[in-house]
Amino acid sequence: MGRKALIAANWKMYKTPAEAADFVKAFLPLVAGHTRDEIALFPSPVLLPTVVAACAGSNVAVGAQNIYFAEEGAYTGETSVGQLKAIGGTHTLIGHSERRQCFAETDEIVNKKLHTALKHGLIPVVCIGEVLEEREAGKTADVLKTQVTGAFVGITPEAAAPIVIAYEPVWAIGTGKTATPEMAVEAHRIIRAEVAKLLGADVAANIRILYGGSVKPENATSLIGEEEIDGALVGGASLKADSFEKIVKY
Ligand code: PGA
Protein backbone atom coordinates (compact mmCIF):
# COMPACT_ATOMS: atom_id res chain seq x y z
CA MET A 1 0.00 0.00 0.00
CA GLY A 2 3.00 2.21 0.69
CA ARG A 3 2.30 5.33 2.66
CA LYS A 4 5.52 7.33 2.37
CA ALA A 5 6.69 8.43 5.79
CA LEU A 6 7.01 12.13 6.58
CA ILE A 7 9.68 13.10 9.06
CA ALA A 8 9.02 16.64 10.21
CA ALA A 9 10.99 19.05 12.39
CA ASN A 10 8.99 21.44 14.56
CA TRP A 11 11.54 24.02 15.67
CA LYS A 12 8.99 25.92 17.76
CA MET A 13 10.30 29.37 18.84
CA TYR A 14 13.99 28.50 18.53
CA LYS A 15 16.87 29.63 16.29
CA THR A 16 17.95 32.91 14.73
CA PRO A 17 18.19 33.18 10.93
CA ALA A 18 21.95 32.59 11.15
CA GLU A 19 21.43 29.46 13.28
CA ALA A 20 18.72 28.23 10.91
CA ALA A 21 21.02 28.72 7.91
CA ASP A 22 23.81 26.85 9.71
CA PHE A 23 21.45 23.96 10.42
CA VAL A 24 20.41 23.65 6.78
CA LYS A 25 24.01 23.86 5.58
CA ALA A 26 24.96 21.01 7.90
CA PHE A 27 21.78 18.98 7.38
CA LEU A 28 21.35 18.87 3.59
CA PRO A 29 24.55 16.91 2.89
CA LEU A 30 23.59 14.44 5.64
CA VAL A 31 20.27 13.59 3.94
CA ALA A 32 21.27 14.13 0.30
CA GLY A 33 19.78 11.35 -1.82
CA HIS A 34 17.47 10.17 0.97
CA THR A 35 14.26 9.41 -0.89
CA ARG A 36 12.70 6.72 1.32
CA ASP A 37 10.94 9.37 3.43
CA GLU A 38 9.70 12.92 2.95
CA ILE A 39 11.48 15.49 5.07
CA ALA A 40 10.07 18.84 6.16
CA LEU A 41 11.25 21.65 8.41
CA PHE A 42 8.79 23.89 10.29
CA PRO A 43 10.63 27.01 11.50
CA SER A 44 9.27 30.23 13.03
CA PRO A 45 7.78 32.72 10.54
CA VAL A 46 10.78 35.08 10.53
CA LEU A 47 13.07 32.17 9.61
CA LEU A 48 10.94 30.94 6.72
CA PRO A 49 12.51 32.97 3.86
CA THR A 50 16.02 31.99 4.99
CA VAL A 51 15.17 28.31 5.34
CA VAL A 52 13.18 28.13 2.09
CA ALA A 53 16.07 29.71 0.18
CA ALA A 54 18.61 27.42 1.82
CA CYS A 55 16.54 24.29 1.02
CA ALA A 56 15.75 25.28 -2.59
CA GLY A 57 16.31 22.40 -5.00
CA SER A 58 16.85 19.89 -2.18
CA ASN A 59 14.80 16.98 -0.88
CA VAL A 60 13.74 19.01 2.17
CA ALA A 61 10.41 20.85 2.19
CA VAL A 62 9.61 23.84 4.36
CA GLY A 63 6.40 24.82 6.08
CA ALA A 64 4.90 27.12 8.69
CA GLN A 65 4.07 26.21 12.27
CA ASN A 66 0.80 28.10 11.96
CA ILE A 67 -1.29 29.98 9.42
CA TYR A 68 -4.42 32.07 9.75
CA PHE A 69 -7.67 31.07 8.10
CA ALA A 70 -8.55 34.47 6.58
CA GLU A 71 -7.12 35.30 3.16
CA GLU A 72 -5.83 38.69 4.32
CA GLY A 73 -6.94 41.60 6.45
CA ALA A 74 -6.59 43.33 9.80
CA TYR A 75 -5.23 40.38 11.79
CA THR A 76 -2.19 41.74 13.59
CA GLY A 77 0.49 39.15 14.18
CA GLU A 78 -0.89 36.49 11.86
CA THR A 79 0.48 34.96 8.65
CA SER A 80 -1.71 34.22 5.63
CA VAL A 81 -1.45 31.19 3.39
CA GLY A 82 -0.86 33.52 0.44
CA GLN A 83 2.15 35.02 2.23
CA LEU A 84 3.51 31.58 3.05
CA LYS A 85 3.09 30.35 -0.51
CA ALA A 86 4.63 33.52 -1.97
CA ILE A 87 7.90 32.80 -0.18
CA GLY A 88 7.87 29.12 -1.18
CA GLY A 89 6.39 27.37 1.86
CA THR A 90 4.54 24.16 0.97
CA HIS A 91 3.36 22.72 4.31
CA THR A 92 1.79 23.97 7.51
CA LEU A 93 1.14 22.59 10.96
CA ILE A 94 -2.40 23.18 12.18
CA GLY A 95 -3.66 22.96 15.74
CA HIS A 96 -0.43 22.01 17.48
CA SER A 97 -1.18 21.42 21.17
CA GLU A 98 0.85 24.50 22.09
CA ARG A 99 -1.43 26.54 19.81
CA ARG A 100 -4.44 24.93 21.45
CA GLN A 101 -3.15 25.43 25.01
CA CYS A 102 -1.35 28.81 24.82
CA PHE A 103 -3.40 30.48 22.09
CA ALA A 104 -6.85 29.02 22.67
CA GLU A 105 -7.17 27.29 19.31
CA THR A 106 -10.34 25.24 19.14
CA ASP A 107 -11.37 22.42 16.82
CA GLU A 108 -13.49 25.01 15.00
CA ILE A 109 -10.46 27.21 14.32
CA VAL A 110 -8.46 24.14 13.30
CA ASN A 111 -11.22 23.26 10.85
CA LYS A 112 -11.25 26.76 9.31
CA LYS A 113 -7.47 26.68 8.94
CA LEU A 114 -7.63 23.25 7.33
CA HIS A 115 -10.12 24.49 4.73
CA THR A 116 -7.93 27.49 3.90
CA ALA A 117 -4.76 25.39 3.68
CA LEU A 118 -6.39 22.86 1.32
CA LYS A 119 -7.94 25.58 -0.82
CA HIS A 120 -4.46 26.96 -1.48
CA GLY A 121 -2.78 23.61 -2.07
CA LEU A 122 -0.72 23.44 1.09
CA ILE A 123 0.05 20.13 2.78
CA PRO A 124 -1.57 20.48 6.21
CA VAL A 125 -0.36 18.53 9.24
CA VAL A 126 -3.29 18.52 11.65
CA CYS A 127 -2.12 17.91 15.21
CA ILE A 128 -4.30 16.13 17.74
CA GLY A 129 -3.73 14.39 21.05
CA GLU A 130 -4.99 13.92 24.58
CA VAL A 131 -3.69 15.53 27.77
CA LEU A 132 -2.61 13.38 30.70
CA GLU A 133 -5.84 13.78 32.69
CA GLU A 134 -7.84 12.62 29.67
CA ARG A 135 -5.64 9.53 29.24
CA GLU A 136 -5.85 8.71 32.94
CA ALA A 137 -9.61 9.10 32.87
CA GLY A 138 -9.86 6.64 29.97
CA LYS A 139 -11.05 9.35 27.59
CA THR A 140 -8.27 9.16 24.97
CA ALA A 141 -10.42 7.56 22.26
CA ASP A 142 -13.24 10.07 22.78
CA VAL A 143 -10.86 13.02 22.67
CA LEU A 144 -9.19 11.81 19.47
CA LYS A 145 -12.53 11.15 17.77
CA THR A 146 -13.83 14.59 18.75
CA GLN A 147 -10.69 16.30 17.48
CA VAL A 148 -10.74 14.42 14.17
CA THR A 149 -14.44 15.05 13.66
CA GLY A 150 -14.06 18.72 14.55
CA ALA A 151 -11.09 19.23 12.26
CA PHE A 152 -12.78 17.52 9.30
CA VAL A 153 -16.15 19.30 9.24
CA GLY A 154 -17.03 20.00 5.60
CA ILE A 155 -13.94 18.23 4.23
CA THR A 156 -14.80 15.94 1.30
CA PRO A 157 -13.01 12.69 0.44
CA GLU A 158 -11.90 14.32 -2.82
CA ALA A 159 -10.20 17.19 -0.98
CA ALA A 160 -8.64 15.10 1.77
CA ALA A 161 -5.69 13.52 -0.04
CA PRO A 162 -3.01 16.03 1.05
CA ILE A 163 -3.99 15.91 4.75
CA VAL A 164 -1.52 14.52 7.24
CA ILE A 165 -2.49 13.91 10.87
CA ALA A 166 0.02 14.07 13.72
CA TYR A 167 -0.92 12.16 16.84
CA GLU A 168 0.87 13.92 19.67
CA PRO A 169 -0.11 12.89 23.20
CA VAL A 170 0.30 16.19 25.04
CA TRP A 171 1.89 14.51 28.06
CA ALA A 172 4.70 13.27 25.80
CA ILE A 173 5.58 16.62 24.23
CA GLY A 174 8.83 18.06 25.49
CA THR A 175 8.68 15.88 28.59
CA GLY A 176 11.03 13.06 27.61
CA LYS A 177 8.11 10.66 28.16
CA THR A 178 7.30 8.83 24.95
CA ALA A 179 4.21 6.81 24.20
CA THR A 180 5.18 3.19 23.75
CA PRO A 181 4.84 1.93 20.18
CA GLU A 182 1.80 -0.08 21.38
CA MET A 183 0.12 3.04 22.78
CA ALA A 184 0.86 5.02 19.63
CA VAL A 185 -0.39 2.23 17.37
CA GLU A 186 -3.59 1.93 19.38
CA ALA A 187 -4.22 5.67 19.08
CA HIS A 188 -3.41 5.66 15.36
CA ARG A 189 -5.92 2.85 14.78
CA ILE A 190 -8.62 4.84 16.57
CA ILE A 191 -7.81 7.89 14.44
CA ARG A 192 -7.72 5.90 11.18
CA ALA A 193 -11.05 4.26 12.00
CA GLU A 194 -12.58 7.66 12.63
CA VAL A 195 -11.24 8.96 9.32
CA ALA A 196 -12.76 5.88 7.64
CA LYS A 197 -16.10 6.66 9.23
CA LEU A 198 -15.99 10.28 8.08
CA LEU A 199 -14.29 10.05 4.69
CA GLY A 200 -14.33 6.41 3.65
CA ALA A 201 -11.98 3.46 3.66
CA ASP A 202 -9.80 4.69 0.78
CA VAL A 203 -8.97 8.02 2.40
CA ALA A 204 -8.33 6.26 5.70
CA ALA A 205 -6.01 3.71 4.11
CA ASN A 206 -3.96 6.43 2.44
CA ILE A 207 -3.87 9.18 5.07
CA ARG A 208 -0.54 9.52 6.83
CA ILE A 209 -0.63 9.59 10.61
CA LEU A 210 2.59 10.74 12.27
CA TYR A 211 3.57 10.23 15.88
CA GLY A 212 4.97 13.15 17.90
CA GLY A 213 6.11 13.55 21.49
CA SER A 214 9.72 13.14 22.62
CA VAL A 215 10.83 11.31 19.47
CA LYS A 216 14.60 10.89 19.64
CA PRO A 217 17.23 8.96 17.68
CA GLU A 218 17.03 6.23 20.33
CA ASN A 219 13.30 5.57 20.00
CA ALA A 220 12.63 6.56 16.37
CA THR A 221 13.02 3.07 14.90
CA SER A 222 10.67 1.38 17.34
CA LEU A 223 7.98 4.00 16.69
CA ILE A 224 8.26 4.81 12.99
CA GLY A 225 9.09 1.18 12.23
CA GLU A 226 5.49 0.30 13.08
CA GLU A 227 3.33 -0.25 9.99
CA GLU A 228 0.67 2.00 11.50
CA ILE A 229 3.02 4.95 12.16
CA ASP A 230 3.73 6.97 9.03
CA GLY A 231 6.46 9.25 10.27
CA ALA A 232 7.22 11.62 13.10
CA LEU A 233 6.80 15.21 14.19
CA VAL A 234 9.91 16.02 16.15
CA GLY A 235 10.51 19.00 18.43
CA GLY A 236 13.58 19.08 20.67
CA ALA A 237 15.51 16.37 18.85
CA SER A 238 15.11 18.18 15.51
CA LEU A 239 17.11 21.23 16.54
CA LYS A 240 20.50 19.65 15.86
CA ALA A 241 21.31 18.45 12.34
CA ASP A 242 22.97 15.18 13.34
CA SER A 243 20.19 14.27 15.76
CA PHE A 244 17.46 14.96 13.20
CA GLU A 245 19.44 13.10 10.54
CA LYS A 246 19.43 9.98 12.73
CA ILE A 247 15.66 10.20 13.10
CA VAL A 248 15.18 10.70 9.34
CA LYS A 249 17.27 7.57 8.77
CA TYR A 250 15.54 5.56 11.53
P1 PGA B 1 9.08 17.15 21.29
O2 PGA B 1 7.98 18.04 20.55
O3 PGA B 1 9.66 16.23 20.26
O4 PGA B 1 10.08 18.12 21.82
O5 PGA B 1 8.38 16.39 22.36
C6 PGA B 1 7.13 17.48 19.58
C7 PGA B 1 6.16 18.52 19.08
O8 PGA B 1 5.76 19.40 19.85
O9 PGA B 1 5.76 18.50 17.91
Query: Atom 1 (ligand 1): residue with closest C-alpha?
Result: 235
pLDDT averaged over every residue in the chain: 97
Mutate to test the pocket of ligand 1, among 178, 216, 233, 240 (most ligand atoms within 8 A of CB): 233
207 vs 191: CA distance, rounded Å: 10
**How confident is residue 2, by pLDDT bands cut at 50, 70 and 90?**
confident
Nearest CA, atom 7, ligand 1? 235
| Residues 6 or more apart in contact with residue 120 via CB below 8 angstroms | 81, 82, 85
In a domain, 60, yes or no: yes
Chain center to CA of 26: 23
Residue 209: helix, strand or coil by DSSP?
A: strand
Residue 74 contacts residue 23 (beta carbons within 8 Å): no
Nearest Cα neighbor of 238 from 105, 42, 73 is 42
Read off the pLDDT of each residue in 11-24 and give the average, rounded to a whole number: 98
Number of domains the chain contains:
1
**Residue 1 within any structural domain of the chain:** no
The whole domain housing 121 covers 6-248
Select which of 105, 130, 134, 168 is catalytic: 168
Residue 30 within a domain: yes
Average pLDDT over residues 35-47: 97
**What is the pLDDT at residue 1?**
52
99-123 tens-digit pLDDT: 999 999 999 999 999 999 999 999 9
**Mean pLDDT for the stretch of residues 31-40:** 97
Give yes or no for a contact between 112 and 67, defined as CB atoms under 8 angstroms apart: no
CATH number at residue 85: 3.20.20.70
Q: Is 181 part of any domain?
A: yes
CA of 24 to the centre of ligand 1 (A): 19
Residue 129 CB less than 6 A away from ligand 1:
no
Which DSSP state fits 59?
Answer: S
Judge if pTM exceeds 0.95. yes
Does 93 contact ligand 1 (Cβ within 6 A)? Answer: no
Choice from 6, 10, 102, 170 to test ligand 1 binding pocket (greatest atom count within 8 A of CB): 10
User: For 151-166, how does the pLDDT look when each residue is reduced to its tens digit (9 = 90+)?
Assistant: 999 999 999 999 999 9
Cα separation, 234 vs 9, in Å, equals: 5
